[in-house]
């Protein structure tokens, strides 16, 4: 009786499952492509976050990219070897499966044993390759970036599970809000800078406005050397914004604001335990995720391409 | 009491249905060697658990519930990924460009995430309850084969602490290498032991004197080997030195004899996998009726 119920229920489940999923999409291939793209973007986000939190420069990204691409090539070579060994063990796998399902002892299966030994070795080989790559990555990171990782490790209990995609937004809410707030301040500053038509007045007011904005964004006193250095970078952003022609304003001004947010972020990163920015944590486990992630080489290329504009400070003119 | 033959009258039909029906069975058919190997792992695990027939019969409907729940969870997950496809791409590009998500988009995404998490909640709770019911059917001996969540947490934390310590000590040791190569002959013999001890303490801060001595001895031997290399040998060995150092500091240990058959996470994935139910049904006729003495 129980088996009959089980059979009927399972049959109902299996028939109902695909029906309950959704109405058949107009273009199944398109839907599958959207699904894959979405899954990849969700998987990319924590890795991009690591790049962002580390404040990786374009130069560093360019140096990291070949290291991580080589690691992925090593992974692929290991996978290819394993796939060949698995194929060679096909007959053994089938025979062992049959025997065990029939309640007989597993037969002697040399090819299967060889494959399983290779599998164990491959795990070790991958770990070793990651270790070697991480050592190289380490030499590319700055002292501050390594210090951030060390501090994050100390602040994070080991073995924490990673948040599921749907919790990613929440996990970084405070950081996102801070970023949005600073972005708004910078946009206002850029608009004010572009709005000032009198060059002399601009030259007089811009440094003071930028110093105020730098102090406001960092929560530090204007007399601090770091705030003054940041203010100079912000003035550079304003100068660049004033030189934009009307056709490129819409796109470039947002990029400049993002670059100014990055400048604020970098300033705060160099001054631990200060400022208004929520604490940034990049643990060594996060770095290892970046090193291992299949799409990291691709993301690093995008990072270089999409990275905000660089704030170029005008050389100081004597007597000005 | 029904005879075994009668009891399993519907099993072939059930198995046939499983094989014919999509999409669950798309994951279960041994279409290629990789799938066949995964199925072999399931068979081995089920055999290693040494289930008796009564247990298998009691567990099978629970596995069916879990498989159903997994299908529903997959449907919800698919809908979530499709719903958020455009916004998450915008988010990713924005993050690459250093631009925050606009407020309205962030709000929309936050609502979609909360809605999805809430829709998963009852399913996850029901699955957790069913998984506990499966667990309750196992004997004490069988339970020892599966790592508990608490034990897994402790193990993962320990593994990560060890990895962090190993990485820190490796950084220290690798930064010593240029000194090892360039120190003068008068300085090297006296200072190498101090440096080796520092590395040993970094990897085993709570290690006893004997362990630290053993580790620093190994480090000294490693430093000596690196120092003896010719320039050509050293340059050729450089890419492999981190791995060699890892084996010096943290040699791989054989799997302990009492290692669990499955971790807690593997166990949950195992009982939710529809193929486990399929295999369980296949092996049911050959399961013993009593626990072997």
Q: pLDDT by residue (tens digit) across A217-251?
A: 888 899 999 999 999 999 999 999 999 988 888 88
Q: Taken in order A189, A192, A193, A199, is the CA torsion positive or negative?
A: negative
Phi, psi of A160 (to 5 degrees): -70, 135
Asked if B97's CB is within 8 angstroms of A307's CB, the reply is yes
What is the count of residue pairs from A and B with beta carbons less than 8 Å apart? 211
Asked if A101's CB is within 8 angstroms of B101's CB, the reply is no
pLDDT digits (tens, 9 = 90+) for B148-165: 888 888 888 888 888 888
Asked if B17's CB is within 8 angstroms of A169's CB, the reply is no
Q: How far apart are CA A5 and CA B248, in angstroms?
A: 59
pLDDT of residue A316: 55
| A218 and A274 Cβ atoms separated by less than 8 Å | yes
Closest chain A residue by Cα to residue B277: A10
pLDDT of residue A116: 96
Asked if A49's CB is within 8 angstroms of B23's CB, the reply is no
Q: Considering the entire predicted model, what is its pTM?
A: 0.82
Chain A residues whose beta carbon lies within 8 Å of the beta carbon of residue B22 = 14, 18
Chain B residues whose beta carbon lies within 8 Å of the beta carbon of residue A86 = 33-34, 37
Q: How far apart are CA B279 and CA B46, in angstroms?
A: 8
Asked if A94's CB is within 8 angstroms of B36's CB, the reply is yes
pLDDT of residue B28: 41
Name the token pair of B45: 């695990």
Helix ranges restricted to H, chain B = 4-7, 11-20, 33-49, 53-83, 85-97, 103-137, 140-143, 149-182, 188-203, 209-228, 231-237, 241-249, 264-272, 274-283
B226 exposure class (CB count in 10 Å sphere: 0-12, 13-18, 19+): buried
Regions of chain B where pLDDT drops below 50: 1-30
- The total of other beta-carbon atoms located within 10 Å of residue A30's CB is 10
Chain A residues whose beta carbon lies within 8 Å of the beta carbon of residue B287 = 103
pLDDT of residue B114: 94
Phi, psi of B146 (to 5 degrees): -115, 130
Please give the DSSP secondary-structure letter assigned to residue B146: B
Q: Computed over its alpha carbons, how large is the radius of gyration of chain B? A: 28
Phi, psi of B262 (to 5 degrees): -145, 150
Tell me the shortest Cα–Cα distance from A87 to chain B, in angstroms.
Answer: 6
Name the token pair of A222: 């204007």
Contacts of B234 (CB under 8 A, 6+ apart): B181, B226
Assembly ipTM: 0.81
Asked if A42's CB is within 8 angstroms of B88's CB, the reply is yes
Chain B residues whose beta carbon lies within 8 Å of the beta carbon of residue A21 = 75, 78
- Angstrom CA distances, A158 to A153, B154, B156, stand at 8, 9, 8
Name the token pair of A186: 């910078």
Regions of chain A where pLDDT drops below 50: 1-2, 7, 11-22, 318-320
Q: Dihedral (C-alpha) A235, A236, A240, A242: value to the nearest 10 degrees?
A: 20
Tell me the shortest Cα–Cα distance from B269 to chain A, in angstroms.
Answer: 16
Helix ranges restricted to H, A161-317 = 165-171, 173-195, 199-218, 225-243, 246-269, 284-292, 296-306
């Amino acid at each position: 009786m129980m088996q009959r119920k089980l059979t009927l229920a399972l049959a109902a489940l299996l028939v109902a499952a695909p029906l309950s999923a959704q109405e058949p999409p107009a273009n199944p291939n398109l839907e599958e492509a959207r699904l894959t793209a979405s899954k990849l973007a969700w998987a990319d986000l924590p890795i991009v976050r690591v790049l962002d939190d580390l404040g990786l420069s374009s130069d560093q990204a360019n140096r990291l990219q070949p290291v991580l691409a080589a690691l992925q090539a090593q992974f692929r070579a290991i996978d290819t070897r394993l796939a060949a060994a698995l194929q060679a063990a096909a007959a053994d796998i089938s025979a062992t499966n049959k025997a065990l399902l029939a309640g007989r002892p597993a037969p002697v299966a040399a090819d299967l044993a060889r494959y399983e030994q290779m599998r164990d070795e491959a795990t070790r080989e991958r770990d070793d390759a990651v270790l070697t790559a991480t050592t190289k990555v380490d030499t590319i990171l700055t002292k501050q970036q390594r210090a951030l990782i060390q501090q994050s490790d100390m602040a994070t209990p080991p073995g924490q599970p990673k948040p599921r995609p749907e919790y990613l937004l929440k996990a970084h809410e405070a950081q996102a809000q801070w970023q949005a707030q600073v972005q708004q301040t910078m946009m206002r500053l850029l608009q004010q800078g572009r709005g000032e038509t009198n060059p002399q007045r601009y030259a007089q007011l811009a440094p003071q406005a930028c110093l105020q904005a730098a102090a406001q964004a960092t929560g530090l006193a204007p007399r601090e050397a770091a705030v003054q250095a940041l203010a100079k970078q912000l003035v550079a952003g304003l100068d660049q914004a004033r030189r934009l022609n009307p056709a490129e304003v819409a796109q470039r001004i947002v990029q400049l604001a993002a670059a100014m947010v990055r400048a604020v972020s970098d300033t705060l990163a160099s001054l631990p335990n200060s400022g208004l920015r929520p604490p940034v944590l990049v643990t060594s486990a996060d770095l290892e995720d970046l090193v291992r992630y299949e799409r990291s080489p691709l993301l690093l290329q995008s990072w270089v391409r999409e990275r905000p504009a660089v704030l170029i400070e005008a050389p100081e003119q004597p007597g000005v | 009491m029904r005879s075994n033959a009668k009891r399993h009258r519907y099993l072939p039909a059930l198995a046939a249905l499983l094989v014919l029906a999509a999409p669950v069975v798309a994951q279960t058919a041994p279409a290629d060697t990789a799938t066949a190997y995964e199925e072999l792992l399931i068979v081995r695990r089920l055999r290693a658990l040494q289930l008796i027939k009564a247990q298998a019969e009691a567990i099978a409907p629970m596995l069916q519930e879990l498989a159903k729940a997994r299908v529903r969870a997959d449907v919800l997950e698919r809908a979530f990924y499709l719903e958020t496809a455009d916004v998450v791409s915008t988010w990713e590009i924005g993050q690459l460009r250093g631009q925050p998500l606009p407020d309205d988009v962030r709000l929309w995404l936050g609502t979609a995430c909360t809605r999805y998490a809430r829709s998963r909640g009852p399913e996850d709770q029901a699955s957790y309850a069913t998984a506990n019911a499966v667990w309750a059917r196992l004997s004490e001996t069988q339970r020892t084969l599966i790592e508990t969540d608490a034990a897994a947490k402790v193990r993962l934390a320990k593994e990560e602490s060890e990895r962090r310590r190993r990485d820190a000590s490796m950084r220290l040791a690798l930064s010593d290498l240029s000194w090892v190569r360039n120190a003068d002959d008068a300085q090297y013999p006296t200072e190498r032991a101090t440096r080796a001890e520092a590395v040993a303490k970094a990897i085993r801060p709570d290690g006893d004197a004997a362990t630290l001595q053993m580790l620093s001895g190994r480090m000294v031997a490693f430093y000596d080997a690196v120092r003896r290399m010719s320039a050509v040998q050293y340059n050729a060995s450089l890419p492999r030195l981190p791995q060699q150092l890892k084996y010096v500091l943290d040699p791989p240990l054989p799997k302990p004899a009492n290692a669990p058959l499955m971790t807690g996470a593997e166990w949950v994935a195992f009982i939710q996998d529809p193929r486990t139910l399929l295999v369980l049904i296949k092996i049911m006729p050959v399961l013993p009726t009593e626990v072997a003495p």
